[in-house]
Amino acid sequence: MATNPTHNAPVVQDNESAVARSLAEGNFLQTYLLLHALTESLLRAVLTHDDDRPSFNDLINAYRMFLDQNKYPIPTFVDELVQFNRRRNRIVHQLWQKGFTLTNAQTEPAARAAVMMYGLLIEWFGTFDDSIAKKGLTLSK
């Protein structure tokens, strides 16, 4: 895991606040997509990667390699991250097939689960990198 400083704490906090607002307003599509972007930011903040613009899948693979290198017997959160990314892709496709209203309603359970996963990921990565809070990533939203 990298100790690269992130200077985007105000941006992360703004996005986390937007997640809380969109969830409260019932905009589950926005909630999910913002959480996907925040999760990608979290992965970028704590993982080193050779590519300066890795894809979400590249970041998942970097995380999987980190766990392997550190002899973690259970690939904690790897499957969840893969499914999270796949679900994001399905949501975007459904938006164009079914429209906003139906897709937004169908996204509610996924958005609520994504909020929990994001908080758990921050807590988990905080066990490896105690500067997570300084990077603007919090559990408070």
Which residue intervals of 8-99 are DSSP H helices?
9-24, 28-46, 56-69, 78-98
At 3, the pLDDT band (50, 70, 90 cuts) reads very low
Determine the Cα–Cα distance for residues 70 and 31; give it in Å rounded to an integer: 33
Helix/strand/coil for 63:
helix
Q: Is 97 exposed, middle or buried (0-12, 13-18, 19+ CB in 10 A)?
A: exposed
Determine the Cα–Cα distance for residues 11 and 44; give it in Å rounded to an integer: 14
Determine the Cα–Cα distance for residues 53 and 62; give it in Å rounded to an integer: 13
pLDDT digits (tens, 9 = 90+) for 39-82: 998 898 888 777 778 899 999 999 999 899 888 888 889 999 99
pTM: 0.85
